[in-house]
Amino acid sequence: MRIIFHMDMDAFYAAVEQRDNPELQGLPVIIGGPSKRGVVSTASYEARPFGVHSAQPMAQALRRCPEAVVVKPRMSVYVEVSRQIMEVLHTFIPVIEPLSLDEAFMDMTGTENLFGPPVEAAMAIKDAIRAKTELSCSIGIGSNKFLAKLASDLDKPDGITLVPFGNEREFIAGLPIRKLWGVGPKSAERLENLDLMTIGDIAEADISWLRERLGKSYADHIHALANAQDARSVNPSRGRKSVGSETTLFDDIQGVEAVKKVFREQCESVARSLRKKNLRASGVRLKVRYSDTFKLSTRQGPLPEPSSDSMALYEAGCALMDTIDLESPIRLVGAAAFDLNDGDEPAQIDMFTTQDRRKTETLEKTLDAIEEKFGRKVLRASSVRKKD
C-alpha cells in the first residue's frame, strides 16, 4: 500500500504578504496587477467570502469586495519562500514532486517507523513549515496522487485530511463530480446533463455507456478516478513542463497583425528564459483572452526542431493563428514553450536547418549579453535579421 501526501500552502502569495506586512493581517488582500484590467493571482481567506478567487478579472473582484487591498506580486520573494518550503519537505523524504511554488506530492510509503502514522507525520511536516516560514499549509493523505490532492482541498486552511485506506471509493462517492481531475465547468455541465452528479454516479456507471457518450479516453480516465484508481507514481525528477510569458493589454486589440506584434514580444521573453536556463523547447503555445467574454483560447503545435530561438517560436505560433478568432476584442496575449529538454541534449534533425538555427541561437545569446549589460531593447534580433 502506498502512502502519498499532497502538501498545499494556504493562499500562498497573500499569506506571504500578510506575514511580511502585519498591517494586512485580517484584511481582504488580493494579489494581482494594480490595473483594473488585471487578473487575481491569489486572494486571502478574508476576501474569499465576497466571491473573490484566483483567475478572476480584477475589476470584478473589486466590485465584489471594494474594500480589498490590492498588492502587486513579488515573485522573487515567493520563489525564495518556496525554496525554503521544499527544503523542509526534503528533511522528511527525498521522493518529492513539486507541482508549483506552493504545492508538492510526497511519497511517504514506508516511513511510519521514522515519523509515525500518516496523520502524525503530516502534523510534523506542517509544524516544520510553520517554524521555518510562519505560514500554514494543508495536507491530503491517500493511497494515490489523485486522492491525496483531492483530500488536501477538503479542510482548508491549515487542515489535514486522510482518505481511509481500504475505503477510498466509499469516502469520495458523495463528492461532486467537479472534484475529479479533468472535470472543468463545461465537462461538469455535460456530465450533469447525463444525470451524473457525484463521483459515485460515475463509479457505478457502465463503462461502455460512458465511452459511447464521452469517448473512450476521457471515459476511462474519469471512471478510473471515480473508482479511486490512479497508478501514477511520485516523480522527483519531474522538471518544469513549460516556460511562458503573457501580457494584459492596456487597450484591447483586434486583428492578426496586432496580435502578431504582441506575440513576437512574448516569444522573445520566453526564448530569453529558455536560454538562461539552457533549455530548448519542442513545442509552442499561443494564448489569447477575449475582453467581452473573458474566455481564454489556446492553440499549440510542434517546432520543426528543439530550439530556444525566438523566431522559431514566433513562426510556429503564427502558423496556428488561422485556427483561432483574432477579430474579437482581445485583452491578453501570451506565448509558452513546452516539451522542454536540456540545451546540450543532441537531437536527430536536419543538418542544414540545425546549422541555421544554431547561428540564430548564438546571435540571440550575444544579444542577451548586450541587453544584460546595457539594458533591454538596446538592440533587437529583428534589427539584424529579415523583418516579419
Task: Specify the pairing of strand 29-32 against strand 69-71.
Answer: parallel
Residue 239's pLDDT is 54
Supply angle C-alpha 191, 193, 195, rounded to 5.
75
Query: CA nearest 15: which of 6, 24, 3?
Result: 24
CATH fold of the domain at 242-383: Dna Ligase; domain 1 (3.30.1490)
Domains in the chain: boundaries? 1-164, 169-226, 242-383
Residues 192, 182: Cα–Cα separation, whole Å:
15
- Between the alpha carbon of residue 195 and those of residues 93, 176, 186, 201, the distances in Å are 43, 12, 15, 8
> Using CB atoms within 10 A of its CB, is residue 368 exposed (0-12), middle (13-18) or buried (19+)?
middle
Tell me how far apart the alpha carbons of residues 196 and 209 are, in angstroms, rounded to a whole number: 12
User: What amino acid positions are annotated as catalytic residues?
Assistant: 103
Tens digits of pLDDT across the chain (388 residues) = 899 999 999 999 999 999 999 999 999 999 987 666 678 889 999 999 999 998 788 889 999 999 999 999 998 899 899 999 999 999 999 889 988 889 999 999 999 999 999 999 999 999 999 999 999 999 999 999 999 999 999 999 999 999 999 999 999 999 999 999 878 788 889 999 999 999 999 999 999 999 999 888 889 999 999 999 999 999 886 555 789 999 889 899 999 999 999 999 999 999 999 998 888 888 899 999 998 888 888 888 887 788 899 999 999 899 888 888 999 999 999 999 987 876 644 443 333 334 455 555 665 656 555 565 555 554 444 443 443 4
In CATH, the architecture of 169-226 is: Orthogonal Bundle (1.10)
Distance CA 367, CA 59 (A): 38
Q: Tens of pLDDT along 198-217? A: 999 999 999 999 999 988 88
Closest to 3 in 3D by CA, of 138, 131, 95? 95
Strand-pair category, 40-43 with 29-32: antiparallel
Predicted pLDDT at 193: 94
Q: What does the buried/exposed string (b/e) look like for 213-242 if buried means 16 or more CB atoms within 10 Å of the residue's CB?
A: ebeeebbebbbbbbbbebeeebebeeeeee
Q: What is the DSSP-derived secondary structure letter of residue 33?
A: -
Query: Is the separation of the CB atoms in 66 and 104 below 8 Å?
Result: no
Over residues 252-271, the pLDDT tens digits come to: 999 999 999 999 999 999 99
Cell of 25: 493581517
Query: Given phi > 0 = left and psi -120 to 50 = alpha, else beta, which region is 365?
Result: alpha
Q: Could you name the CATH architecture of 1-164?
A: 2-Layer Sandwich (3.30)
